[in-house]
Each structure stands twice: as structure tokens, then as C-alpha cells.
Amino acid sequence: MIYPQSAFRGWASEISNKLGISNRSRSSSHSNAQTMPSAEQRLEQLERFSTHYRELLDIMHEASIYGPTKGLETRYGALRMQLRNLYLPCKPFVGAYLDTLLGEGISGTYRKKVYPFACFCDSFEICWEHDTLEQAIDSDEAVVLGRVTTTLQAMDLYRSHLCYLLAKTA
């Protein structure tokens, strides 16, 4: 038998717990908003990443014409680590545009079909996740071209959005 007082205590305790969780999540989301970089900072991050990414695409293009020479291989290796670090702050934002363009969502279904070994890499990361330049360019040319086109479109959409936000706040 449940006594009315104990039922009330259980109910009151449950409400108190829910309010505590709600307050903690509200303060957590407020602190996340304070740590979010401004649109200007995000545009600077995107531009730094974009410059290095386009350099990587130039290296891959040269390697597809002349073959992966030692100099190109060295440049590719040096860019790999830089791109990983530069992409991290941009990934949540550019990745959202990338997922929209691919039409597959966050699950990476598109990537698993085309590149089964890279189920956790998006179309940007695939470009620098290979150990060597030869591996990076040794794939179906149509798929590589489609991936590069999509990544450039995603960056352009994100850049346009940030420029809009900056113009709106100016």
C-alpha cells in the first residue's frame, strides 16, 4: 500500500530533480553560447582553412597530371596535419552544408558507399586522410571531382552565410 505522504514526497522529489536538470542544461547552453566564436572569427577560420585546402587541391591536381613526385608528396604530408587542425573549428558549420548538399545527413551513408574505409570522414577529410599522395589520387576520377566540387560549394555557402551575418550586424 502506498501512503499519500510517501507518494507526495516521491512526486515532489521527481519535480525537484527535473527542475535541477533543466536549470543545469539552461546554464550549460548559456555558457556554450558565450564560448561560440563570432561570425568574424569563424570567417577568419574558414579563410585560413580554405587557403590550405585549395593548396591541397592544387597538389592533388598536379599529382594527377605529373604523378606523385617526391616534392608533391612532401608538400602533401606537410599539409595533412595543418588541415586536420584547421578543419576542426570549421567542421560543425561547413559539415552541415556538406551534409545538406550530399543529401545523406550526418550518418555518412554516402561516404560509406563510396569510401567504406572512411565511415567517419566527410568529403573534406577524405582528401587528407590517406597516408600518401598516391593513395589520395588513386581513385575514380569522377568521384574525386564530385567530392571536390561539393566541398567547394559547401565552403562557398558557409562563407556567404557568414558574410550575411556580418553585414546584418554592421
Per-residue pLDDT tens for 108-150?
A: 444 444 545 445 678 888 888 888 888 888 765 656 777 888 8
Which residue would you say has higher pLDDT here, 15 or 160? Answer: 160
Residue 9: what pLDDT?
Answer: 56
* 122, 143: one domain: yes
Residue 128: other Cβ atoms inside 10 A: 21
Please tell me whether residues 2 and 80 are part of one structural domain: no
For residues 41-48, average pLDDT? 96
Which span out of 32-36, 78-82, 145-149 was modeled with the highest average pLDDT?
Answer: 78-82
43 and 93: one domain? yes
Q: Is 50 found in the same domain as 12?
A: no
Residues 1 and 54 in one domain: no
Do 92 and 13 share a structural domain?
no
Average confidence score pLDDT of the chain: 78
For the chain, how many structural domains are there in total?
Answer: 2
Shared-domain flag, residues 18 and 72: no
The residue range of the domain holding 8 is: 1-34
Residue 19, pLDDT > 80, answer: no
Residues in CB range of 163: below 8 A, 6 or more apart = 43
Q: Are 155 and 50 in contact (CB under 8 A)?
A: yes
> Position 67: which residue type?
G
Q: Would you say residue 92 has pLDDT above 60? A: yes
Q: Please give the span between the terminal C-alpha atoms of the chain, in angstroms, as a whole number.
A: 66
Model pLDDT, residue 7? 53
pLDDT of res. 120: 62
Q: Same structural domain for residues 28 and 70? A: no
> Is residue 48 located within the same domain as residue 125?
yes
d(CA 123, CA 115): 10
Residue holding cell 559547401? 154
Beta strands in 44-109 (DSSP E): none
How far apart (Å, rounded) are the C-alpha atoms in residues 124 and 17?
Answer: 43
**Cα angle for residues 67, 72, 73 (degrees, 5° grid):** 95
Check whether residue 89 and residue 7 sit in a common domain. Answer: no
* Grid cell of 29 as nine digits: 547552453
9 and 91, same domain (yes or no): no
The verdict on 30 and 75 lying in the same domain is no
Confidence at residue 102, expressed as pLDDT on a 0 to 100 scale: 75
Spatial contact of 102 and 123, defined as CB atoms under 8 Å apart: yes
